[in-house]
Amino acid sequence: MKYLIVGLGNIGPEYADTRHNIGFMVLDELAKQENVKFYNMRLAYYTEVNYKSRTLFLIKPTTYMNLSGKALNHWMKELKIPVENVLVIVDDIALPLGTLRLKPKGSAAGHNGLKHIEATLGNNEYARLRFGVSDNYPKGRQVDYVLSGFDDDEKPELPALIDRSIEMVKSFATIGAELTMTKYNK
């Protein structure tokens, strides 16, 4: 069984550890825990993790957030992975920090990365793990907010949330979206 796990973010040191890059942060930690390295491949940083006789193909698109669909589409086709085995890890300002929600499909909810994936695939039938980054910004400052780092009082919470996200990724690949939602979504 093959799974494509896509962490959304932007490449470049100026974006590292920002709210918008939580997808990259989750996959970086998963790779570290599994002792694998990412390689710069076509449209993405790429690596593989074997878990319970499944292969998880991890990609971090190098296309920038607003063109994430290009990388996802390329690797889905290249690896022949059906859409039901795709999981996208994405930041979500509609959820408070500490909230992690897996959904089997759904709307882009204004997220440019998800909008591009939906437009590229022609559907929204892929699972996503929404990582709450809260919405503590003044009106009209959303872009500055998601491209900023986490606040000092939020940083201590991140490692446990990232570990829980990794558990949810592994759960998705072993027991599927529905059971993972039942087990982890609060």
**Is 20 in the active site?**
yes
108 close to 121: Cβ distance less than 8 angstroms: no
CA distances from 38 to 28, 80, 122, 167 (A): 8, 20, 28, 20
Residue 14: count of CB within 10 angstroms of its CB: 8
Residue 124: which of 100, 104, 94 has the closest Cα?
A: 104
Three-state SS sequence of 62-87: CCCHHHHHHHHHHHHHHHCCCHHHEE
Catalytic pick among 20, 74, 111, 116: 20
For the annotated catalytic residues, the residue numbers are: 20
